Structure 1
Amino acid sequence: MSAPLLSLYRKVTRWPAGHWLFSRAVCFKAPYFSTIAPRFVALEPNRCEVRIRDRRRVHNHIGTVHAIALCNLAELAAGVMTDASLPASMRWIPKGMTVEYLKKATGTLHGVATPDVPLVESASAYDLPVSVVVTDAAGDAVFRATIAMWVSPRR
């Protein structure tokens, strides 16, 4: 059985404008992420792809996409991937993030989140590192992050 979020994604994205609607629903649940106006491109177990457009509201003082907007993109993709991939008996919360800014981030950006280790059902809590790579329209990596997720059984 798939996670409720993954089931919702699969259902909603069959509709016209479904990706937009799913993206809006996620931002309704976690409103801060609406600041980057994300668009979910793909969601499956162990993989989430999210795009953001280069808009003035995500710019820094030099006209590139702000570092924190990139961090928001990474945390969003990692969180949704984790939520869509975990067994229903488990829960998660981010507990840390390590980032690398590789080059100026301009244009539409595409973030892909994947787990570094398998997500498993467990009677005890464990660390789950999730890698996120953000690329520009040319396919060049502009940003990399590892999100440390704390995964634990629901009590």
Structure 2
Amino acid sequence: MNPTLKLWQKMAAYPAGRQLFSKGVCLKAPYFGTIKPVFEELDTGRAVVRIKERRALHNHIRSVHAIALCNLAEVAGGVVCEASMPAGMRWIPAGMTVRYLGSAKGVLRGYATMRDIVVGEKGLVPVTVEVKNTAGDVVFDAEISMHISPKK
């Protein structure tokens, strides 16, 4: 089993385990900490990450800033990619296409989905992320192209 996924499954079983896992992700990649993400679900090919609207994330119209939403997409997409990698493979984002579909307010959840994994060879794998508000409306979506290659 993938070590990241194994760690998630072990930690998520404890009351504060999801928060500790999320903080660990932010220690490894500190910029993610600016949005204070909390992982709610993680499995091969799927992740759900929550953030809460707060003043530090606001834009000039008092909704969550576009780049904070991109940050949410990247943390959800990156960790689902990490948790889905077979042994001996690595990933790095190669590009991201985003759409802003509505005002991002309140509690927001990023739903990341990874359909394909290139095993043993180089390739680009798409990871899709939808960000929904509390009402379930999609306020942002992204497709991240992940460059997958064997570890050296």
TM-score normalized by the length of structure 1: 0.96
Q: Aligned to 1:130, what secondary structure does the other structure show?
A: strand
The reply on whether 1:121 has 2:119 as its aligned counterpart is yes
The reply on whether 1:134 has 2:131 as its aligned counterpart is yes
Q: Aligned to 1:113, what secondary structure does the other structure show?
A: strand
TM-score normalized by the length of structure 2: 0.98
Deviation string, structure 1 residues 19-57 (Cα, Å, up to 9, x no partner): 111111110111100000000000000001100001111
Deviation at 1:120, TM superposition (A): 3.3
Work out the CA distance in 1 between the residues paired with 2:78 and 2:110. 12
- Unaligned 5+ segments in structure 1 are none
Percent identical among aligned pairs is: 54
Work out the CA distance in 2 between the residues paired with 1:29 and 1:128. 23
Aligned partner of 2:14 in structure 1 is 15
Contact kept? 1:89, 1:121, Cα under 8 Å: no
- Superposition CA RMSD, Å: 0.8
The reply on whether 1:146 has 2:152 as its aligned counterpart is no
Give the alignment of 1:1-155 within 5 angstroms: 2-115=1-114, 117-122=115-120, 124-155=121-152
Work out the CA distance in 2 between the residues paired with 1:154 and 1:27. 23
Q: Aligned to 1:22, what secondary structure does the other structure show?
A: helix
Q: Aligned to 2:25, what secondary structure does the other structure show?
A: helix
Structure 1 residue ranges, 4+ long, deviating more than 6 angstroms after superposition? none
What code does the residue aligned with 1:113 have?
Answer: A
What code does the residue aligned with 2:76 have?
Answer: A
Work out the CA distance in 2 between the residues paired with 1:125 and 1:79. 17
